[in-house]
Amino acid sequence: MTTASKSIGVFISEEKIQARVSELAAQINRDYENQEIILVCVLNGSFIFCADLIRQIKVPVQIETVSLSSYEGTESTGQVSFRLDVKQSLVGKNVILVEDIVDTGLTISFLLKHMKLKNVASLKLCSLLLKRARLKVEVPVDYLGFDIEDKFVIGYGLDFDGRYRELPYIGVYGE
């Protein structure tokens, strides 16, 4: 493991992330050829991932944001609540939820259930990271960046109590 700025080691390098984001965008471009999509960016953690992804989307695309709360420090509270919902109607739209990380899966399951109630034409999930071993509920991740071990990661949008989001790579907090 190499040492980088702020003494946070590199777990997934900037180059690896960018290469994977390009692959995910290419997959989405193929799957939605001649269709329009709405990317729903799950704030705050996925804002950088979403910004990189959308710039490689070639089909007509719009962006919406949602904000949920379920984490304090490094532990999920298991209690998910809405801070901000989408602003436009999603009826009949092809929606892709863009998440930074699926850990227990409780947050995204809550959101998937909520989005299904909006009578969308299709609903898919794109997550940069998944901690498969930590899942408490089954979550269908249609577009996945990296399957990672059970470590608390930061950088590339992911924070620890509001910090480290600006790192261009993903590191492990405390390592």
Using CB under 6 A, list all residues that contact ligand 5GP: 45, 70-71, 76, 99-108, 152-154, 158-160
Tokens standing for 158? Answer: 């992911």
Nearer to ligand 5GP, 66 or 123 (CB): 66
Tokens standing for 22? Answer: 């390009």
Any idea what DSSP says for residue 169?
S
Q: Tell how many helices (H) and how many strands (E) occur in the chain.
A: 3, 8
* DSSP states along 141-157: -SEEEEE--S--EEBTT
Distance CA 169, CA 156 (A): 6
Nearer to ligand 5GP, 35 or 79 (CB): 79
SS3 state at 100 = strand
Least distance (Å) from ligand 5GP to the CB of residue 167?
Answer: 11
Least distance (Å) from ligand 5GP to the CB of residue 122?
Answer: 22
Nearer to ligand 5GP, 32 or 40 (CB): 40
**Active-site residue list:** 103
Any idea what DSSP says for residue 126?
E
Least distance (Å) from ligand 5GP to the CB of residue 98?
Answer: 11
